[in-house]
Structure 1
Amino acid sequence: MIERLRPLLSQWTILAPVLAVVLLIFTWGRDLPGLVVALATLILASAVLAAVHHAEVVALRVGEPFGSLVLAVAVTVIEVALIVTLMADGGDKSATLARDTVFAAVMITCNGVVGLSLLVASLRHGTAIFNPEGTGAALSTVATLATLSLVLPTFTTTKPGPEFSSVQLTFAAVSSLILYGLFVATQTVRHRDYFLPITRQGDVITAELHADPPSTRAALMSLGLLTLALVGVVGLAKGVSPTIESGVEAAGLPHAVVGVIIALMVLLPETIAAVRAARRDRVQTSLNLALGSAMASIGLTIPAVALASLWLSGPLVLGLGSTHMVLLALTVVVAALTVVPGRATPLQGGVHLVLLAAYLELAINP
C-alpha cells in the first residue's frame, strides 16, 4: 500500500508548487473574494509542505550545513521581496512593516523554532544534543545584527524618532552584509564541522545513515520546485494579506500583528523542516535552520529596505520600543545559557516557547 502511495505523493509535491504559482499569476494585484482567499490559503499550505519536501531532497544531496543554508536563504530572499512590495504599496502605514516583520522573524526562530526543536528532541531522545561552537557563533551574529539594526535606531539623535539617518542606514546595511558573508564563509568553508550534527558520543555526523543521496538531476529538479513553492507561498501570502489586514483592523488589534502573521506564514517551511530534523535527533540541523533564518532575515532585509528607501517616499522606522527591547535582551541571554552546555532538556525548550508566547501576547495586547 505504501509503495502505491509513493508515486502519488511524488506527483503531489510537484503539483502543489505549480498550482501555487498558477493561482498567483491569476490573482496578482487583484482584490480577492472570500472563496478565492480560502482556496489560496489551502494551496499555500500545500506549497509549504511541498517546499519542506524539496528542501530535504536538496539538503540530502548537498549535505549539511549547505541544506539548511539553501532553505534559509531561499525563504528570506523571497520574504524580502514581499516586505519591499508591501512597503511600496502601503505608504506611511507600512513605515514599521520591515521592523515588525524582521523582529517577528527573530522571535519566532530564536524562541519558537529553537524551543519547539529542543522540546521535541529532548522528549523523544532524553536530551537534545548539538554543537555549542557553531550554535554560539550563529547566536552571537544574530544578537549583533539585531542590536545594530533594530535597537540602535531608537537611541540615535541625528534624525528624530526611531529612524536611522541615510549615513547610519548605509552603515547598518553594509555591516549586515559583511557579518552575514563572514558567517556563511565560516559555516560552509573554514569551520564547517562546527555546524554538522553530532552523535551522543560527540562524534560529527558527516553523512546521513541509511539514506542514499538523490541524483544531481533529482536535486536540481527539487531546487527548481523549491523555488516555485517559495514564490507561491510568499506571493499568495501577499495576496491574502489585505484580508489579514482587514481582519486585524476589524478585531481592533495593533497593525504590528500583520507583520507577525506574515512572518509566521513565511517561516512555516523552516519550522516544519526543523521539527522533522529534531525528531531524527539532528538538533544541530534544526538550530542551523532557526538561527540561520533569523540571521538571513536581518542580514538581507536591512540592506534591501535601505536600497528601497531611495525610491520609497514614506519613513522607514526600524527602532524597537522598550518592551520589545526587553524581550530581545531576554531572548539573547536565555539562548546563550541554552547554547553553552551543548545539550538541553525539555525545560530549555519550554522557556523559549514561553518567551514566544509572551511576545505574541504583547503583540496583541501591547
Structure 2
Amino acid sequence: MTARPLPIHTYLIPIGSLVLAVGIRLVGFPMGHEYPVLSIVVSLLAICILLTTVFIVLQHAEVLAIRLGQPYGTLLLTFAVTTVEVSIIVSMMLHGENNPTLARESVFSTVMIVCAGVVGLCLTLGGLHHHQQELKRQGTSAILSVLTALTILTLVLPNFTLAAAPGTFSPVQLVFVSFCSILLYGSFVFAQTVRHRDDFLDDGRPGGDHASHGISGEANWGNAALLLIGLIGIVLLAEQVATGVEDGLAALQFQQTDAVVGAFIATLVLLPEALSAIRAALINELQRSLNIALGSALATIGLTIPAVGMASVLTGRELTLGLTPGDSVLLALILSISIHSFGTGRTTVLTGLVHLVVFIAFLLLIAFP
C-alpha cells in the first residue's frame, strides 16, 4: 500500500498556531482589566484556534500511535496531552503574579473531568450500544490503585501536614511527593508496556494489530515534526488565552476564577483524548477506552506535580496543593465509585449515569460554590 500524503491543513494549522503565538508574545495580548468584554471576546477567538490546533496535533499523534501499536500508542497520546498541560501550568506559574492554586485546580479538574465526565460518557454510550461491556479487572484495578495513591498524596495530604501552612508542603515534603509521583507513574508505565501488558489489552485485540495504513517513514518524521511544532504553539497560545480569561473573569468579579481557569486548561487538553476514549467505547473496546481516559488522569498527576513542584522549589514561589473540604469530598466520592464500578468486570448504562451525576455536581459547585 502506498503512503498517504498529509493533507495541507495539517501542515498549515500547527505552523500558523505557532506563528500566531509568537506574534502575540512579541506584540502583546490586547486585553486587561479595563476592557473585560474585549478580553473575553479575544480569548474566545483564540480558543477556537487552539481547539483546532489541538485536534490536528492529536491527529498526528494518532498516526504515530498506529505504527507503535497498543498500549504504546495510547501512551504516546497521553504523553502528548500531558506535555501540553504541564507546559501551560508551569509557564503561567513562572510569568506574572504568583498563582499558588492554579496547579491544584487544573489537576483536580482533570481527575474529575476524566473519572466522572469522560468515563461516565464512555460507560453510558457504550452501555446503550452494547447493553453491557467487559473490561480487564487486573489492568483497571492497577490504574485505580495508582490513581488513588497519587491523588491522596498530592491533593489531600497537604491539608494535614505540620511542617508548612495548611494546604502546602515544605520543600523536603514536596521533593519527596514529587519523587513518589514519578516512581508510581514510572512503575505503572513499566507494568502496562512490559511486565503485565496483556492486562491492559482488550480480549481478542493483541497489541500492535493495527495496520500501518500505508504510512511511510518520511510521513512518520513529518507527523513527529508537526506534532512538536503544534505542541509548542498550543503551549504558548494557551498561556496567553488562560491569562486573558483569568483577567476577564477577575474584572467581572467572578468568585471562582482559579477553578474556571483550571477547568478550562483541563478541558482544552483532554478534549481530543476524551473523544478517542468515547469512540473506543462505542466500538466495544472498553479497556482501551479506559486506558486512554484513566491513563490521562494518571499521567497528569504523575508528571504535573513533579514539574510544578520543581518550579516551586527552584523559584521560591508558593504552591498550594491541598483541596478544599468540598472538593475533597467529591474526589473521595468519585474514586470510591470508580472502584465499585469496575470491580465486577462489567459495566452498564446505570454505571455510567452514576459517574455523570457526580460530574454534574462538580460543574454545579464551580458555578455556585
TM-score (norm 2): 0.89
Alignment match, 1:264: 267
Residue number among 158, 166, 185 corresponding to 2:163 in the alignment: 158
Q: How far did residue 251 of structure 1 move?
A: 5.5
Q: 2:348 and 2:307 mapped to 1: Cα distance?
A: 38
Contact preservation (8 Å) 2:148, 2:335 = yes
Of 138, 152, 161, which aligns to 1:147? 152
Residues 330 and 153 of structure 1, relative CA distance in 2, 3 Å threshold: same
Which residue of the partner structure matches residue 351 of structure 1?
A: 354
Q: Counterparts of 1:1-366 in structure 2 under 5 Å? A: 10-28=7-25, 30-32=28-30, 34=38, 37-92=43-98, 94-198=99-203, 203-208=204-209, 212=213, 214-249=215-250, 250=252, 252-255=254-257, 256-366=259-369
Check whether the contact 1:122–1:128 (CA below 8 A) recurs between aligned residues. yes
Cα deviation digits, residues 214-249 of structure 1 (max 9, x gap): 333323322332233333333222121233113322
Q: Distance in 2 between matches of 1:65 and 1:328?
A: 27
Change (3 A) 1:312 1:365: farther
For 2:58 and 2:285, the matched residues in 1 are separated by: 16
Q: In 2, distance between residues paired with 1:15 and 1:344?
A: 42
Following superposition, the deviation at residue 61 of structure 1 comes to 0.8
Quick check: 1:109–1:291 contact (8 Å CA) kept in 2? yes
The 1:36/1:245 distance shift into structure 2, 3 A limit, reads closer
Asked whether the 8 Å contact 1:91–1:314 carries over to 2, the reply is no
Match of 1:3 in 2: none
Cα deviation for residue 16 of structure 1 reads 1.8
The alpha carbon displacement at 1:95 in A equals: 0.7
Equivalent pairs: percent with the same residue?
44
CA–CA distance in 2 between the matches of 1:210 and 1:81? 32
Contact 2:84 2:234 in 1 (8 A): no
User: Which SS does the other structure have where 1:158 is aligned?
Assistant: coil
How far apart in 2 are the matches of 1:174 and 1:146?
14
Mapped to 2, the partners of 1:285 and 1:213 lie a distance apart of: 23
* Structure 1 residue 208 displacement after superposition: 4.4
Separation in structure 2 between the aligned mates of residue 216 and residue 278 of structure 1, nearest angstrom: 30
Instruction: Measure the CA separation in 2 of the matches of 1:16 and 1:232.
Output: 10
Please say if residues 52 and 273 of structure 1, whose CA atoms lie closer than 8 Å, have aligned partners that are also in contact: no
Answer yes or no: is the 8 Å Cα contact 2:66–2:210 preserved in 1: no
Tell me, in whole angstroms, the C-alpha distance in 2 between the residues paired with 1:283 and 1:54: 23
Cα deviation 1:70-125 (Å, max 9, x = unaligned): 11112212311211111122434x11111111111111111122112222222222
Residues 182-209 of structure 1: per-residue CA shift (max 9 Å, x gap): 00100001111111122xxxx3443546
Q: 1:211 to 1:284 in 2, by over 3 A?
A: farther
Contact 1:52 1:272 in 2 (8 A): no
Q: For 1:113 and 1:211, how far apart are their aligned partners in 2?
A: 28
Q: Which moved more, 1:79-88 or 1:20-29?
A: 20-29
- Give secondary structure in 1 for the equivalent of 2:202: coil
Question: Residue 28 of structure 1 aligns to a residue in which SS?
Answer: helix
What is the alpha-carbon distance in structure 1 between the residues aligned to residue 272 and residue 297 of structure 2?
Answer: 14
Q: Is the CA contact 2:67–2:212 (under 8 Å) kept in the aligned structure 1? A: no
Determine if contact 2:120/2:355 at 8 Å carries over to the other structure. yes
User: Distance in 2 between the 1:38 and 1:363 partners?
Assistant: 20
DSSP-derived class of the 2:95 partner: helix
Give 1:161 shift. 1.8
Distance 1:283 1:32, change over 3 A: farther
Q: CA deviation at 1:279?
A: 2.4
Q: After TM superposition, what 4+ stretches of structure 1 lie above 6 angstroms from structure 2?
A: none
Counterpart AA for 2:254? G
The answer as to whether partners of 1:60 and 1:213 remain within 8 angstroms in 2 is: no
Moved more, 337-346 or 272-281: 272-281
2:68 counterpart letter in structure 1: V
C-alpha distance in structure 1 between counterparts of 2:134 and 2:215, whole Å? 27
- Judge conservation of contact 1:150–1:320 (CA < 8 Å) in 2: yes
By how many angstroms is 1:138 displaced?
0.7
Confirm or deny: 8 A CA contact 1:338 1:344 kept in the other structure: yes
Q: Are 1:23 and 1:40, in contact at CA under 8 Å, matched by a contact in 2?
A: no
Structure 1: segments with no counterpart, 5+ residues: 1-5
Partner of 2:97, secondary structure, is helix
User: TM-score with structure 1 length normalisation?
Assistant: 0.90
Partner secondary structure for residue 89 of structure 2: helix
Partners in 1 of 2:131 and 2:227 — Cα distance?
A: 33
> Gaps spanning 5+ residues in structure 2: where?
32-37
- How far is 1:165 from its partner? 1.0
